[in-house]
A and B are shown apart, each in its own frame.
Chain A
Amino acid sequence: MSAIENKSSNTPTQNSAQQLSGERLVELYRIMVLSRYLDERVWLLNRQGKAAIAASAQGHEATQVACIEATDPSKDHYLIYYRQFTAMIALGTEPEEMLRGFLAKENDPMSAARQFPLHGAHPRVDLFNFSNVIATQLPQAAGVALADKLKGSDAVTIVYFGDGASSQGDTHEAMNFAGVHKLPVIFFCENNRYAISVPQSKQMGIDSLASRAAGYGFPGVQVDGTDVVAVHEATQAAVERARAGEGPTLIEASVERLLPHTTDDDHTRYRSAEDIAQMEERDPIKVLSELLKRRDLLTESEDEKIHAAAKKRVNIATDTVDAEPYPSVETMFDHITDGSGNGGAL
């Protein structure tokens, strides 16, 4: 199998995949901006004591929208991890639905306020997220892909994880399993070079995670995760490969974690000032906005409108959800089992 490929938007794709239209690029930008405002709002709600914890996607937005764009939400499966705020929005989750999770409201569609924000199962898309025990989602994804293979479906499973998760046994075992059975699964790593405070150099003895794919018998691709076009192309190639029955792909998208690990963290304790400062140039919203303007796809005033609309949308969602009720304690025993057994009740 091939060694690592290095993709950037300057490299033409070898496949016949569709290029992103200017219109779609602007749409992706719109989603990213909405995600950014909502993400900032959640952080604020944490500071107000209303949201217990949040992990931000700031810095990961481009890679998340571009990857989803290359898939088919009407049939594909998504096993996301806790940082995939933007991916959730790209898959059609409304800001209200997101906030219900963060504020642990009764109508949280993912987990009925039983589990961390964004964790649980999506009511419309085939998406689930139980990733907060790191890397558990990877073997599960191999199983979802195995089910498609056995059923003869051409759906693809995309499983997301961080660089930190790559050190777990689950990750190795899942990739090995998927390689053996040539499963239609894409292992998508959002490498922000940190597992909380532990830098990549203390997590692995290699520079590129994608190079590990060779050991499992499938291709590994490294891509600039701030580059929407490059991520889209890389994912499209992996999706085609999986649908054609050729097996898994490992994609490593390099991104920046613009904020601390979670609302509980202060990254100035372990990141140098230079490391933090250099991230500004790699802010995906800035990168895409400049690209759109360079290509005359977006004017300054259109950009302002996108920002204003996002801000307004977030305000409306916040007001709505803030006023909604929390789950009542009478529901405490609901969903432990399907109702059989004693459901855990005493």
Chain B
Amino acid sequence: MTEIVLREALKRGLEEALENDPSVFMMGEDIGEYGGAYAVTDGFLKKFGPDRIKDTPISEQAFLGAGIGAAAAGLRPIVEFMSISFTLVAFDQIVNMAANLRYMSGGQISVPMVIRAPTGAGVQLGATHSQSFETWLAEVPGMKVVCPSNPYDALGLMRSAIKDKNPVLVAEPALLYGAKGEVPDEYYEVEIGKADVTREGSDITLVSYGYGMRPTNDAADVLAERGVSAEVIDLRSLSPVDLEAVVNSVKKTNRAVVVDNARRKGGVMAELAADLQQQASEWLDGPVMRVGSVDVPWPYNRGLEREVLVDKDNVLDAVAEGYGL
């Protein structure tokens, strides 16, 4: 085991793929000399050369579309967006094209492409740079969507994403690039579609993913001090989602609070809450409580932004409101 930060974990996954598979190459804005907006590709240009580490013009639609073409032609492109907010510029290529090509060609065309993008608010980047569109893309059939909360999952999911024969979005929580964690020295993968029970408990199930794991874990700590044993689940994959793992936990705890770091409305947890209501209602002692960030455009001012972002008190309030704990 070695302790590294999440940025290093992503980097290791990418570097391995570039070393081992000549069909892997990367495209994105400022990924070359600059090493990427969050320094994930630092040093790659020198090591792998400009044919495989491509700085692109500011033209998300063009380089994502080019990624689809290159993937369909047999390469394995890894495309970096500077922010998940800018995937909007390329949404037609992602949603209408990348995700649908296999289906629309009767299975003839595959798009083995990885889309990487920093996601989430909290760094004062305002309404246009703070979005969490993994929540939108998780709804799209044909897309796989993952979002790690720690270095172990970041490396394991990156390995699986690059090997996958479908387009996979790796949403990278912008606030977690510096998050530390242990990573095994021997090879492993994290299967896409498998959640992780990160803390076992018996009284209540708390579910989140990505940066949402921070307030969720903090809330679990506070609950533990109060003698309430929370089971914490990190979804890791948003599509496919591991409903079974969550249902199994609820069967044990009979209580569930689900936590989105993104805006509450229309988030991944809206979907999960609805499914739980349907599939676990007989085990539930109360309503599935849904927590998320406030439904406003992300404000620039720091005080306003902090107020909007979900925090442990929001989680604790939901626990109290739903289950009196």
Contact = CB atoms under 8 A, between A and B. Distances in A.
Interface of A: 52-53, 104, 111, 113-116, 119, 130, 132-135, 164-165, 167-169, 195-198, 202-204, 269-270, 326-327, 329, 331-333, 336, 344-346
A114 B58 contact: no
Contacts of A134: 58
Interface stretch (B112-120, B122-130, B148-156): B122-130
B25 to A, nearest CB: 16
Interface string B294-325: 11110111111001100000000000000000
Contacts of B297: 114, 336
A269 B59 contact: no
A70 B300 CA distance: 33
Interface in B27-75: 29-30, 32-35, 55-59, 61-62
Contact of B128 (A104, A132, A327, A331): A132
A68 to B, nearest CB: 25
A294 to B, nearest CB: 39
28 contacts: A53-B124, A104-B301, A111-B300, A114-B126, A119-B126, A130-B128, A133-B86, A135-B58, A164-B58, A167-B59, A169-B89, A195-B57, A195-B58, A197-B34, A198-B32, A198-B34, A198-B56, A198-B58, A202-B57, A269-B35, A329-B303, A329-B307, A331-B304, A332-B296, A332-B308, A336-B297, A344-B295, A346-B295
B174 to A, nearest CB: 12
Interface majority SS (helix, strand, loop, mixed), chain B: loop
A198 B299 contact: no
Interface string B280-298: 0000000000000011110
Given A116-B126, A169-B61, A198-B34, 8 more contacts: A111-B300, A115-B128, A116-B300, A132-B129, A168-B89, A197-B30, A269-B33, A346-B264
B89 to A, nearest CB: 7
A114 B303 CA distance: 11
A131 to B, nearest CB: 10
Contact of A164 (B57, B295, B301): B57
Given A164-B57, A167-B58, A346 B294 contact: yes
Interface of B: 29-30, 32-35, 55-59, 61-62, 85-86, 88-89, 124-129, 264, 294-297, 299-304, 307-308
Contacts, number: 109
A53 B300 CA distance: 10
Interface centre among B33, B55, B58 (most CB of A within 10 A): B58
B304 A332 contact: yes
Contacts of A331: 304
Contact of A332 (B35, B62, B299): B299
Contact of A113 (B32, B58, B301): B301
Contacts of B300: 52, 104, 111, 113-116
Contacts of B86: 133
Contacts of B127: 114-115
A307 B30 CA distance: 37
A345 B295 CA distance: 7
Contacts of A202: 55, 57
Contacts of B61: 169
B59 to A, nearest CB: 4
A42 to B, nearest CB: 15
Contact of B34 (A53, A269, A329): A269
B294 A197 contact: no
A114 B301 contact: yes
Contacts of A169: 59, 61-62, 89
Nearest to A346: B295
